[in-house]
Amino acid sequence: MSYQATVFNLMISCPSDAKNGQEGVRKSINNWNDKHSERNQIVLLPLYYETHVPAVLADPGDERPQAVINDYIVRMSDWLIVIFKNKIGMFMGRADSGTLEEIQLFRKLYPYRPVSVYFYEQTEDEKVKEYKDKLPGIWKGYKNDSELQRKFSDDISHVVYKNTYFQQNMWIIDEL
């Protein structure tokens, strides 16, 4: 049966080597929706640049591909979920990587919206380790993709039910 719902856009960002983890996060979101969305009248919609950014040229003045990603996903997201594995990503013209630029832009535009960051614990990449050490707040480590999926699944309800941004933008019926 159909129902009305508020849709929250969740951007899942990662360098190319962490794409498998992205799939586990998507499954966690879908599982959460199956259990909670109809009763709470909210839907969490996972967004990726591969599926939610059309083939369009960038606007004059900022002709980088990352600018298109920023316009089509970063600016319309309610929650940014970031996964790092063995690399920080590729330089896209501003920050050290497109993923880092997405974090910086999202935090600048929406300082009170949630950003969740997950780091692969066995990474050897110095840039990833350095970024992790400088990151303010709490991040989580993971050993494999199934552990990442489990940890993110555990985090979803905490963010949705307790984060100020979400509380201000929905009516909560369920409890943790």
Residue 164 belongs to a domain with what CATH number? Answer: 3.40.50.10140
Is residue 69 included in any domain, yes or no?
A: yes
pTM score of the predicted model: 0.93
Is residue 93 included in any domain, yes or no?
A: yes
Is the CB of residue 21 less than 8 Å from the CB of residue 118?
yes
Is residue 149 included in any domain, yes or no?
A: yes
Q: Which residues of 4-34 are buried (b: 16+ CB within 10 A; e: fewer)?
A: eeeebbbbbbbbebbeebbebbbebbeebbe
Q: Which domain holds residue 12?
A: 6-168
Question: Residue ranges of the alpha helices (H) in the chain?
Answer: 19-40, 49-52, 65-72, 98-109, 126-134, 145-162, 164-168
Given a cut of 50, whether residue 176 has pLDDT beyond it is no
Phi and psi torsions of 94, nearest 5°: -130, -75
Is residue 1 included in any domain, yes or no?
A: no
Mean pLDDT of 84-101: 94
Q: Tell me the C-alpha distance between 106 and 44, whole Å.
A: 18
Q: What is the DSSP letter of 57?
A: P
Q: Tell me the C-alpha distance between 47 and 94, whole Å.
A: 22
3-state secondary structure of 120: strand
Structural domain tally of the chain? 1
Is residue 176 included in any domain, yes or no?
A: no
Is residue 102 included in any domain, yes or no?
A: yes
Is residue 14 included in any domain, yes or no?
A: yes
Is residue 131 included in any domain, yes or no?
A: yes
Mean pLDDT of 70-77: 95
Q: Over pLDDT 70: what percentage of the chain?
A: 97
